[in-house]
Chains A and B, each alone.
Chain A
Amino acid sequence: MTHGVSVLALLLALGTSTLSQAQEQELPVSEVAPKIFVHAGETALMARENDGAIANIGFIVGDNAVAVIDTGGSVREGRRLLAAIRARTDKPIRYVINTHGHPDHVFGNAAFVSDGTVFVGHRNLPRALAARGQFYIDAFRRIMGEQLLDGVRMIAPTLLVDGTIQLDLGSRTLTLKAWPTAHSDNDLTVLDEQTRTLFAGDLVFLTHTPVLDGSIRGWLRVIDELSTLPAQRVIPGHGPVSEWPGALTDQRRYLETLASDVRKLVAHGEPITVAAGTAAATERSRWKLFADYNARNATTAFSEIEWE
């Protein structure tokens, strides 16, 4: 009986999701390199009005299969990305790669759950989703509303990356690399060897104030190593598709300024509250959403640097 009910519920759920899938409009994407498509996220906070679609997300089509790289800030955005994929290819989606566990990158995961689709992430991603998933769902239900949060589920990767792995899409090899703690403690990059296109996730920000949710010292070290990757262009987590490694310049300067300002405040015995108000103030005019993120970054950096 219980089984019968669950099967019925499942069928209903499948029916509903197919229906809404069919109704979702395609997410606008542009082909930034042959068979690499990117949706440019709006430089904004996740909100009801933008479906949470603030991050750059995309997909790569090989001869045999498709890999999705991040799924967006709501199931609706995920479904719209799926519609954009289906408008261009009927090859199976073999991989859904999450560059890290933040809501604007993983809330669309549920749109891609299907037999034969493998979710891929940093070895620390399941832990991060376990620790933060419910909090994110509750917090964004307040911000974006019940309707958009309906159906958002934390789907943890089953293919975990520790170091480097390669995925074959058919005449197309992707190199995935798991990084030490930087923007977060579960950052993963995807390099398309054929076109030398790098999906950097939130290890790279342009225009949008960088967001520190890991380690500022770790991030600066990772930037040095990132810059040696043999890429020609980068799709940052936020901001325009840009040349590599020039795209790292602004972010490196911001993080170095923040670290150096905070280090001085710690040395002078100033409290953490002063850091929130003053550190990296010289960077204000160079970034969008500075008021939304800089005080937070300074607070986070202070709590790390005071242990030096």
Chain B
Amino acid sequence: MPGRRFRLLCVASLLSVMLGARVAPAATPEAYDPWPGLVQDIFNNRPMNDGADVITIEMPYRAEDAAIVPVTLRTRLSPSDSRRVLTITLVIDQNPAPMAAKFALGPDANVTEISTRVRVNNYTDVHAVAELSDGKLYVAKTYVKASGGCSAPAAKNADEARSRLGQMRYRQFAQPGQGPASGAREAQIMIGHPSNSGLQRDQVTLLYVPAFFVNELRLWQDDSLVLAMEGGISISEDPNIRFTYVSNGAKRFRAEARDTKGHMFQHEWKIDDSGI
């Protein structure tokens, strides 16, 4: 079960941090490249193909707010390509738990763009790995400079974050130049959640604040899967995913999220026929 494997990875990274086993000295991130090890741990050492024609990853050159760094993934397969993108895995190499998210793209939804926000702890490569229906992995990467100043990958308003727990919002955006008839949609889902990373160490008790984050999210139009995400602690507080998809004429949009404490959050919205 992929969810279980993901959690194991999280636990493994947590343990390695706790045991001080991270090889990368913070001062010289360039000296140590964690990527080969991550290919082994996350992708079982499967060969990585150049993803230039398959996927792009876009992030700001510098993480302005370490807790909220926007990332946009776009698939680049031409409509005539017979292959399909099955999953996209987002890996933030130098984060304490590098695997940020794994997105599964619904078979009939034609999702071509996914934007979300992540935490970035350090100067780091960020990799997007697409698995195609040809069974191969394709990789694209970018580099992000760590934020400076007092920005931290932690809550700004911890009480507010708790009070929003489980709230869900769905919003559909107008697509310029595309009438509703095209079926092309752009939408956003927001989930109120504090997303505690579990890696923050209490300086007084020297204990770790327990991890508490959204680890599963599924989105449907009627009963057809649009997008699913296995999330990790690198996803920002109040997970926010903006994506494109093609409408199948459904009248309902549905979201289901689960967090590490087993809370289940569900919501359903009527879709406006205008596509806006």
Are A153 and B203 interface neighbours, CB within 8 A?
yes
CA distance A304 to B237 in the complex (A): 11
> Could you say which residues of chain A place their CB within 8 Å of the CB of B83?
none
A127 close to B204 (CB less than 8 A):
no
Instruction: Please report the C-alpha to C-alpha distance between residue A126 and residue B115 in the assembled complex, in whole angstroms.
Output: 34
CB within 8 Å of A: which of B181-210?
190, 192, 200-205, 209
- List of A residues within 8 angstroms of B151 by Cβ: 213, 296
- A218: chain B residues at CB < 8 Å are 157
At the interface, yes or no: B27 with Cβ under 8 Å from chain A?
yes
B127 within 8 A of A: no
A142 to B152, CA, bound (A): 14
Cα separation A213 to B158 with both chains bound (whole Å) = 12
Is A139 an interface position by the 8 A CB rule?
yes
A113 to B154: give the CA distance in the assembly, Å: 27
- Minimal beta-carbon separation of A55 from chain B (angstroms): 10
Q: A240 to B111: give the CA distance in the assembly, Å.
A: 52
Assuming the contacts A45-B148, A271-B242, asked whether A154 and B70 have C-beta atoms less than 8 A apart, the reply is no
0 or 1 for each of A270-308: is its CB under 8 Å from B? (1 = yes): 011100100000000000000011011001100110110
Q: Are A273 and B146 closer than 8 Å at their CB atoms? A: no
- On whether A303 and B68 interact (CB within 8 A), knowing A130-B202, A135-B154, the answer reads yes
A306 near B200 with CB under 8 A, answer no
* A45-B203 Cα distance, complex, nearest whole Å: 25
The answer to whether B160 touches A132, judged by C-beta atoms less than 8 angstroms apart, is no
**Pick the contact of A156 from B156, B204, B240 — CB < 8 Å?**
B204
Is B156 a contact partner of A185 (Cβ separation < 8 A)? yes
Give CA–CA (A181, B173) in the complex, Å: 31
Q: In the complex, what residues of A have CB within 8 A of residue B200's CB? A: 130-132, 134-135
Let me know if B68 and A130 touch, CB within 8 A: no
Check B68 against A133 for contact (C-beta < 8 Å).
Answer: no
Chain B nearest CB: distance from A262 CB in Å?
13
Decide: A295 near B64, CB < 8 A? Known: A131-B155, A131-B200.
yes
Minimal Cβ-Cβ distance residue in A for B62: A295
Total contacting residues, chain B, CB less than 8 A: 45
Cβ-defined partner of A271 (8 Å) among B115, B150, B203:
B115
In the complex, are the beta carbons of B154 and A131 less than 8 A apart?
yes
Q: Mark interface residues in B52-89 (1 if CB within 8 Å of A CB, else 0).
A: 00000000100011001010100000000000000000
Residue B112 is within 8 A (CB to CB) of chain A in the complex: no
- Among A142, A156, A185, which residue has its beta carbon within 8 angstroms of that of B157? A185
Q: Does chain A have a CB within 8 A of B147?
A: yes
Known pairs A124-B158, A131-B155, A215-B160; A293 contacts B149 (CB<8 A): yes
Is B26 close to A, CB under 8 A? yes
Q: Which of A102, A141, A184, A296 has the most chain B CB atoms closer than 10 A to its own CB?
A: A296
Q: Contacts A45-B149, A271-B115 given; indicate if A142 touches B156 (C-beta within 8 A).
A: no
A150 within 8 A of B: no
Instruction: Report whether B68 and A132 are in contact in the complex, using a CB–CB cutoff of 8 Å.
Output: no
Contacts of A104 in B (CB 8 A): 150
**Which residue, B27, B70, B121, B146, has most C-beta atoms of chain A within 10 A?**
B70
Is A60 on the interface with B (CB-CB < 8 A)? no
**Cβ contact within 8 Å between B204 and A130:** yes
Instruction: Assess whether A231 is interfacial by the CB under 8 Å rule.
Output: no
Q: Which of B125-179 contact A (CB under 8 A)?
A: 146-160, 164, 169, 171, 173-174
Interface centre among B149, B160, B201, B242 (most CB of A within 10 A): B149
CB distance from A117 to the nearest CB of B (A): 17
Residues of A whose CB lies within 8 Å of any CB of B are: 45-46, 102-104, 124, 126-127, 129-136, 138-139, 141-143, 146, 153-154, 156, 181, 184-185, 211, 213-215, 218, 269, 271-273, 276, 292-293, 295-296, 299-300, 303-304, 306-307
- Would you mind naming 22 contact pairs between A and B with Cβ atoms under 8 Å apart? A46-B148, A46-B149, A124-B158, A130-B200, A130-B201, A134-B200, A135-B121, A135-B154, A136-B152, A139-B146, A154-B203, A185-B158, A185-B159, A214-B156, A215-B157, A272-B68, A276-B70, A295-B64, A296-B64, A296-B151, A303-B68, A303-B240
Q: For the A-B complex with A102-B150, A134-B203, A303-B117 known, give 6 more contacts whose Cβ atoms are closer than 8 Å.
A: A146-B27, A156-B203, A271-B242, A306-B240, A307-B169, A307-B190
Interface residue ranges, B against A (CB under 8 Å): 26-27, 60, 64-65, 68, 70, 72, 115, 117, 121-122, 146-160, 164, 169, 171, 173-174, 190, 192, 200-205, 209, 236, 238, 240, 242
